[in-house]
Amino acid sequence: MTRRLPRIGAHRRRSRRGDVIGIAVVALLMLALPLVASSSVINVGVYALIYALAALGLSLLMGLAGQVSLGQAGFFAIGAYTQAVLVTRYEWSGLPASVLAVAVTMTAALLVGLPLLRLRGHYLALATLGFGIIVTVLATESDFLGATSGIFGITKPELNNRTYNSPTEYYLLLVPVVLLGLWLARNIVESRIGRALGAVNDSEVAAESLGVDTFRLRVQVFVLSAAYASVAGTAFAHWLGVINPNAANFPLSVKFLLMAVLGGVGSVYGAVVGAFAVEGLDDGLRRLIPELLPGAVGEVQLIGFGILLTTIMIFLPGGLHQLWTGARRRMAGDTSAPVPEDEGEARLEPVADDVPLLAREGRPAPGTPLLEVRGLTKRFGGVTAVDDFDLTVAAGEIVALIGPNGAGKTTAFNMISGAVPPTAGEVTMAGTRVEGRKPHVFARAGATRTFQNLQIFASATVLGNVMVGRHLRSRSGMLGAALVLPARREERAVEESARELLELLGLGEDADRLAVDLPFGRQRLVEIARALALDPDLLLLDEPMAGLSGTERRELARLLRRLRAGGMAIVLVEHDVEAVLALADRVAVLEDGVRIALGTPDEVRHDPAVIAAYLGVEPEDEAATAAAEAGTP
């Protein structure tokens, strides 16, 4: 049993209803509080609601982008200060001021995020920590912002000639804001964007190969997360009436983080539950500790935060949300048992070999050159893995790349698809230079790939995996996703086409299973279905036959022929030489990174260099024996 952070969007189909129930329960509890609680408790509730927004933003960042910010309070403070300045200095009214405050904060987040999100986790965490400190320093140093004493006299908000003065009134004003925030967050998690980011967390290279621009999406989520913090900041400024550099304080960032983690990074409503729990704990500890230890002053409640953060991560990494889903699953009985290996093979309807499949308007005519590789070279230190490799692939042909183990086939694939930058050489896909750029550029040019060591999106269902493949064939963005309306129809269309594709590959019955629960061979087919969902002009398959049964191999070969008839170009790396020679139009042979032969299967079969390569290097290699047999008429 491995411990891992459950992610937002994991177990998608089951969580969808869970989130709605969760949000409804949270809404009821929030609304019930003022009816039963004393004024001082409601006051705690007001802070809980305010902080819940900031925590929610952080939860999105952690759950969707897999990144952690230790400077959420910095953005909270920027929002609060902007609001305070606009309201007190320029006498703006609250609502337009808050719009500008959020815009200012998002701009700041964009400027911070652009350089930092290119880097991995710990740099962002520490840099955002530094960012929070900088905001504190700047606020303290700036006379315009009132230096250490801050900005005073921010009035309570007025709407429709009503002033929200008492804790209860302010509380009830905030509840709809938080619910709206929850609703938008949930929509984004369930959207095309959320699905793509979930895929990135499972396998970045696979998601990018399907056209997901990881960096761009991460920046978007980072900015969104800051926007949530700034809304919280504006609400905070109005409620407290004064804002000072403490608003950017590190302990506040820690508090936001604790709220998100306690509630469960795998859920959006968890952040709200976490906010109430942490605020309650905060208030309780502030009262309790000085009673137990007379003389204790300052932020002593932090001890509870520290202990809680650590114990949750060790014993309950999914937070309260994990308890909740665990209980629900026990009640419902676990239905996610893995498919037994012997449950049979993928069930395909027999169809003639040459019926075109997935032909599409605007596909390049057969024979049009699609992929041009020139002088591709990769050196790792002193080792040249691929040496001056040339290859041209035209629409409507199947090209096989074969060679002994370690010949550089996968490295060549990695360079062509953009996963690894080449040391030298050019790759042009449909007129676009793609070498050294990210895999999503390759995907955008109409080409994608599968992987030798499977890169299944482990936390998604089979259907979810394939739907990621439709990323480039759908377009709803963050805003559309948040507002749901325009995106819903597109979502339905995406799901429908994904299901059709699964039927085609005989995976229809597995659609709603978790992809990792399938046997190995069928996971390969899921990867192929996922790649086909992109509707590519060129498909790179890295050992697609490995792990498939005899029947499945024949079915796959038939599928590839039909795709070729539909005008698709296919390049495959394969060890099953016999299958390759029967299937491919042309075969390229690599040995020690050098292309030693290129031609029709017949030419290659009789090429002395090829025979020597297979027999001379690794005589016990299964593939070598196969090649030798195939080579002796």
Partner 1 sequence: MTDLLQLLFAGLSQGAVYALVAIGFVAIFTVSGVINLAQGEFAALAGLVAISAVGSGLPLLAAVVLAVLSVALVAVIMERLVIFPVKRMTTLVSLILTLGVSTGLKALMLLVYGPNAEGLTPLTPGSFSLGGVSIRYQELWILLIAGVVSLAVYWFYERTLAGKSLRACAEQPVAARLVGISLTKASLLSFLIAGTVGAIAGVLASPIYFTSWESGLTLGLKGFVAATLGGLISVRGAVLGGLLLGVLETLTAGYISTGLRDAVAFLLLIIVLVARPAGIFGRTAEARV
Q: Which residues bind partner 1 (CB under 8 A)?
A: 2-5, 62, 66-68, 70, 115-116, 118-123, 125-127, 129-131, 133-134, 137-138, 140-141, 250-251, 254, 257, 261, 289, 293, 295-311, 313-314, 317
3-class secondary-structure state, position 6: coil
CB of 5 to partner 1, least distance (A): 6
Distance (Å, rounded) from C-alpha 195 to C-alpha 500?
A: 19
Query: CA 380, 386, 392 angle in degrees (round to 5)?
Result: 145
- Residue 211's region, left for phi above 0, alpha for psi from -120 to 50, else beta, is left
* Per-residue burial over 479-509, b = 16 or more CB atoms within 10 Å of its CB, e = otherwise: ebbbebeebeebbeebbebbbebbbbbbbbe
The answer to whether 617 and 591 are in contact (CB under 8 A) is yes
CB of 266 to partner 1, least distance (A): 12
Q: Give the ranges where 393-519 is alpha helix by DSSP (H).
A: 409-416, 439-444, 462-469, 478-483, 485-504
Nearer of residues 306 and 326 to partner 1, judged by Cβ:
306
Nearer of residues 138 and 175 to partner 1, judged by Cβ:
138
CB of 78 to partner 1, least distance (A): 15
Q: Where do we find the tokens 């699964």? A: 502
Q: Write the single-letter amino acid at 127.
A: A
What 8-state DSSP symbol labels residue 543?
S
Structure tokens at 544: 């697609």
Distance (Å, rounded) from C-alpha 620 to C-alpha 616?
A: 10
The answer to whether 159 and 98 are in contact (CB under 8 A) is no
CB of 118 to partner 1, least distance (A): 6
Nearer of residues 153 and 294 to partner 1, judged by Cβ:
294
Nearer of residues 50 and 116 to partner 1, judged by Cβ:
116
Nearer of residues 299 and 343 to partner 1, judged by Cβ:
299
CB of 331 to partner 1, least distance (A): 28
CB of 289 to partner 1, least distance (A): 7
End-to-end C-alpha distance for the chain, whole angstroms: 53
Nearer of residues 66 and 157 to partner 1, judged by Cβ:
66
CB of 116 to partner 1, least distance (A): 7
The answer to whether 271 and 58 are in contact (CB under 8 A) is yes
CB of 197 to partner 1, least distance (A): 14
Nearer of residues 125 and 177 to partner 1, judged by Cβ:
125
Nearer of residues 148 and 336 to partner 1, judged by Cβ:
148
Structure tokens at 539: 């498909």
Nearer of residues 398 and 514 to partner 1, judged by Cβ:
514
Structure tokens at 103: 């815009």
CB of 257 to partner 1, least distance (A): 7
Nearer of residues 71 and 396 to partner 1, judged by Cβ:
71
Distance (Å, rounded) from C-alpha 156 to C-alpha 452?
A: 61
The answer to whether 80 and 233 are in contact (CB under 8 A) is yes
CB of 81 to partner 1, least distance (A): 17
Distance (Å, rounded) from C-alpha 503 to C-alpha 496?
A: 11
Best CA proximity match to 189, nearest among 71, 23, 2: 23
Best CA proximity match to 398, nearest among 250, 601, 239, 132: 601
CB of 264 to partner 1, least distance (A): 13
How many other CB atoms sit within 10 Å of the CB of residue 571?
Answer: 27
